[in-house]
Structure 1
């Protein structure tokens, strides 16, 4: 059992407050990663742009997946 879930009295898996705490942090991290990548592009830092772009892509994909799980649910 994950620490992100707890089981209620009927045995149903229920989301805890940790998921509602992590999603805004992921959104903020994604926004900052996008800002950093665009800054690297503007200033001509090619290595930073490519490395940061890969990081940004990964963070944005995880953030979109967590938003989908929060609003729609994955099960």
Structure 2
């Protein structure tokens, strides 16, 4: 397993499976079990601070350290 994939799985185990495209700089996180918003936000912030870009769920909303999607998530609760 690619090291970056292993790190994402350690941080987001409840969300479901993760697939890594050839570029290995973006991770597809498929919907799995429910996760509390505060916990999801904490995990996403950790990943973005460590240089990961996440594409989540069926809407493929993109969460990046400087992206509007992450700022919206910070205000969501």
- Both proteins in one fold, TM over 0.5: no
TM-score under structure 2 length normalisation: 0.30
Larger radius of gyration: 1
Larger strand proportion of the pair: 2
